[in-house]
Every structure is written in C-alpha cells, then in structure tokens.
Chains A and B, each alone.
Chain A
Amino acid sequence: MSGWGREVLASVLVNSVYEMKNYPVVLLNTVLSPLSFLIVITFVSKGQLIGEAIEGGFIMSMFQSGMSLQGDLSHLKNDFKLQDMVVSSPTTPSAYVAGMALGEIIYSIPALAVLTILAAIYIHPGAVESLELLGVFLLMFLGSVAIGFTLSTFSSDIVQSFAFSRLISTVFATLPPVYYPITYIPLPFRYAAYLSPTTYAGEIAQSSTGLVQLSTTDIFSAWTVLIAVSLALLLIAVKKARWRDV
C-alpha cells in the first residue's frame, strides 16, 4: 500500500471502523434516518411513490454522509485537536479528507445495503440505469463532502457545527423533491426547489428509472447543473478550506 493509501486508511479507521467496532449502536442511527422518510412517503402515497422514495433514500444517504463529515471533522478538530496533530505530520489534506469521507460511506453501508435490496425488488434498474444512478449519487456525495470539509475547517465550536450540518441536510436533502416528483410541489414553490442541487439529482434518478418523464434537454440541463455545482464546491474546498489556520 502506498503512503497515500496508508494515510487514507488511518482516516477510515478513526472515523468509522474503530467506532463501529467499539460502539456498534451508532450504526442504528445511520440506518434509521434515510429509511424513516422512505417508510413515511411509501405509507402516505399508499405505495405509489416507493420507487421515488427508495431513490430519495439513496440521495439523502449520500448527501447526509458528506454533511455528517462536517460534524465529525469539527468534533475531531475542536474537541480532540486531531486536525492540528495531523497538520503537523506528513499527511496531506486530500488523504485526510478522502479517508474521513470513505469512513462516512462505510457508516452508511447498512442503509445503502437495505436500499439496494429494495431497489432491486421495486425499481429493478438495468446496467445503464444503475451506472446513471451511481453517477448521480457520487456527485451528490462529492459535493456534500466538499461543503462539509470546508465548513469544518472554519468551525471552532462543535455545537454550532452540528447545528449547521443538520440545517444544510434539511434544506438540501429533506425539503427538496428527492423522495417524490417535483410536480407534487405547487408551482410558485417549484422554482425555489430548483435552487437545490439535490432536486436535479432527484430528477435525473427518477427519470433514468422511468418514474418521471423528462425531455432530453431537461435531463442534459440537470446533469450540467449537478456536475457544475459539484465541481464548484470541490474548487471552493481546494481554495478556501483552511488546513493551516490563519
């Protein structure tokens, strides 16, 4: 394994494996959060929106993984001074964050496993659709990791940091139409929904599996917005995140 790989492994171990191994109860939270919305939407729609709800569960899981990173990194930085210890070592910020982000994904594995089984039963996407969905979820994850890391480097207070993390998760992963089609939102509010990148992720996911019908132009626009937003967030993280304090 290369030096970079070892640095990534260290972050994965600290941010997920050791905690899961020593405190297995933490896994319950990551499973319950995305599944609870899925259950509510499925019951309320009498099963009609189960496909959208499963895809919404995936989007929320991926987005929430990135946002949880913000809280976890702030916690490790402010309460344990871990970031300072790591800064004063040969570790690169990219390895540190990549490992921490992977750790968040590992946390989400139980939820993702349940969602994958449900998707196979109720949506049964083909290979192309699966790749499309994977691309959407990956972009969601990268964008939210970029926001999470940038904000964590500015935080000096864990309470504030967790509050921000929850706020952003709610605004971008719960309120926008990721668990249901955008047409369920009354028209004046629909424009507001388009301010969130998760709306585009939801639209692409729902259209790729035939749950909603979108024109080629709309699909192309949604992909463009999603990729542009993710790249912009990554760029902000690279330029603005504070590895060394000022």
Chain B
Amino acid sequence: MSGKPMLSGTLLCDSLTKVYRESKGKKALDSVSFEVPSQGIFSLIGMNGAGKTTLVRILATQLTPTAGRATIDGLDVMREAKKIREHIACIPQEARTIPWMTPKQTVLSYLLWRGVSYYEAGRKASEALAKVGLEAQENVLNRHLSGGTKRKVLVATVLSSEADIIFLDEPTTGLDPISRQDLWTSLTRLAENRFLILTTHYLEEAERLANFIGILHRGKVVGFGTLDQLRSILKYQYSLMVTSDIRLPVVREGLVNRARTGQTQILTDETEAYEISRLLLEKGAKFSMSKVSLEDIFFHLVHGTAQEDSE
C-alpha cells in the first residue's frame, strides 16, 4: 500500500436524508440507515431515481446530506472528509474518459492528483492497464477505444490508486455482455483486498458479485443483507421455471405466476419444489429449478412497496 494505514471496519449510515433544493421537498434519500462490513463488494440496487447515486455521492464526499450522518471505518464523511479522501476512489455515474488523452495519460494524471511521483505514476499506470488487459492500447487515444475498453480504462484508473474503498456507480451500464463479463472479472479481482461499493441496474450483476446487497426504493432502504438473508424475507425459497406448455401439477404449497412469455414460475418450499420437479419430469416437461433469485426478491420488495404506497 501507499504508506497510509489500511482501513478495516464498517460503513455506517444513520438516518441519512437528502432533499435537493430544486426538488420541492421531495426526499432523494429518506432516513437511510444500515451498517455493512467495509470489505468485499457491497451492491446498491434500485430503479431509476431510487437514490443510489445520491447515496454514493454522499459517501464519496462529493455531496452534502441534508440530515443524518455516515461514517466509513469510523471517519465521518462530513467532518473528516479530508482523511476519508486519502482512502477512497470513485468512478461516478456517466464518467467518461477524456477523448484527447490516452489510457496511460488518463491513469498517470489521476495518480499525480493522488500525490504519486511522475515516474512512479507512469510505472503504476502501465501496470494497472496491463491488469485489465490494455497493455497494447495504453498509448491509443481514448476516442479510438470501444465503450467497454473506455470503461476498463476507468477501472484501471481507480485500480492503480490503491485506494482501500472504491465507489463504482453503474460501471457496466451500456456494455455488451462480453465486456461486462470482462469487467466483472476485473472487479472481482479488485475486491480481493479492497471494499467496493457498486451500484447497478443489473440484478444478475449484484447477485453474482456482491457480498452484501442494499435495495433502495424511493429513497428508502427496503431490503438489506446477504443474498441468503434477503431470500429469507420471502416465504418461499425455491423457484421452478416451466417453459413447456403443459397442464401443471397441483401446487399444494406455493405461488404460481404466469408470465406473458408463456413461461410459468412456481415459487415454493424445498420439499414441494422437489415433488413438483418429479411430477414435471414424469410428464417430460421442460423446466428449471433454482433458489429464488435477486430478481424475485427485488420484485417482491419493490412491487410490494409500490402497492403499499398506492393503498
């Protein structure tokens, strides 16, 4: 590391609230409270306007909250921002590489901003770019790179910094599936010895990468915990997705949802899931069985909140 003490502890939000001046009193964040260990990957998910970016910007010391407090490893994001900034790095939502610079110049200048010497910055820039597979393109102008490669340049930028805590606000939005997979590999590697706070629209991404997940809806935390802890919110833990157009066996315990695509989802408990599977196999039906996904949980929590709101 760069000589500064390695942080370890928790990220704590206590009644964090944000009301933007121009929002006519609407709360972008509404008394958000949670505590999460500051290691691995913590993913924030939610619909557009749920408050993910606002929360990340407050934690990354870019935005002032209206009320409440947040600490990272005991350091207050408002009162001790200077100390926190030595330990954090951030790729904001919609961050882009500067077209008139090369990947190496991008990473090098960022490292200079963090106080690294010019020679050392050049060496570390090449090293970080090689880690994300861009050694051959380090001197190509950013404007000639593909969207996925530009994102990788940004990841290399924060990777090079050796910050302990990295904020990534929707880093994979707009990427093709292969570029996204590549980036996931980089992020997983990045999280081996750092704390990543990742916001995403892609539930599969959070499910695959995150150790802890926070679900935001209309500025409030509606779900929080590990994937297993979130699953425990639901009554049924197993999901059967039946693709064949057949007469379904009787479901004694569970919920049956018919999708417009013609697929049928059965949410049920483990015993019933195996029993239904057996019956479906006997009928020669095409189906898959798995534990409930983050998508099921998200739909349940967010849709449930929306329904409560409308009542």
Contacts and interface: CB of A to CB of B under 8 A. Distances in A.
Interface of A: 1, 3, 6-7, 9-11, 13-14, 18-19, 22-23, 76, 79-82, 84-91, 96, 244-246
Nearest to B116: A6
A96 B115 CA distance: 12
A81 B95 contact: yes
B299 interface: no
A128 to B, nearest CB: 38
Contacts of B60: 84, 87-88
Interface stretch (B36-44, B82-90, B212-220, B260-268): B82-90
Contacts of B110: 10, 85, 89
Binding site secondary structure of chain A? helix
Contacts of B172: none
Contacts of B117: 1, 6
Nearest to B166: A88
A6 B119 CA distance: 11
Contact of A90 (B21, B62, B100, B114): B114
Given A84-B62, A88-B90, A7 B98 contact: no
Contacts of B102: 22
Given A80-B97, A88-B89, 16 more contacts: A6-B116, A9-B118, A13-B112, A18-B98, A18-B105, A81-B92, A88-B61, A88-B90, A89-B89, A89-B113, A89-B161, A90-B82, A90-B113, A91-B113, A244-B63, A246-B63
Given A1-B118, A14-B109, A18-B105, A90 B86 contact: yes
A10 B125 CA distance: 14
Contacts of A89: 85, 88-89, 110, 113-114, 161
Given A6-B117, A244-B61, A88 B167 contact: yes
A84 B109 contact: no
A6 B111 CA distance: 9
B245 interface: no
B141 A81 contact: no
A86 B97 CA distance: 14
Closest 5 CB pairs of A and B: A10-B112, A88-B90, A3-B115, A81-B92, A81-B95
B190 to A, nearest CB: 16
A246 B21 contact: yes
A22 B141 contact: yes
A1 B115 CA distance: 10
Interface residues of B, number: 40
A81 B61 contact: no
23 contacts: A1-B117, A6-B113, A7-B115, A9-B112, A13-B112, A18-B105, A22-B101, A80-B95, A81-B94, A82-B95, A84-B62, A84-B92, A85-B95, A85-B157, A86-B113, A88-B60, A88-B62, A89-B88, A89-B89, A244-B63, A245-B63, A245-B64, A246-B63
A70 B92 CA distance: 21
Contacts of A3: 115
Contacts of B114: 89-91
B118 A87 contact: no
B280 interface: no
Contact of A7 (B89, B93, B108, B112): B112
B96 A14 contact: no
Given A88-B60, A90-B86, A13 B95 contact: no
B112 A6 contact: yes
B118 A6 contact: yes
A58 to B, nearest CB: 28
A85 B91 contact: yes
A84 B64 contact: no
B64 to A, nearest CB: 5
A10 B115 CA distance: 9
B105 A13 contact: yes
Contact of A19 (B61, B86, B100): B100
Nearest to B93: A81
Contacts of A9: 112, 118
B272 to A, nearest CB: 49
Contacts of A245: 57, 62-64
Given A6-B112, A9-B112, A79 B61 contact: no
B285 interface: no
Contact of B90 (A80, A85, A244): A85
Nearest to B120: A6
A235 B157 CA distance: 34
B78 to A, nearest CB: 9
A19 B141 CA distance: 11
Contacts of B61: 87-88, 244
A22 B61 CA distance: 33
A243 to B, nearest CB: 9
Nearest to A96: B113
A7 B93 CA distance: 24
Nearest to A20: B100
B230 to A, nearest CB: 28
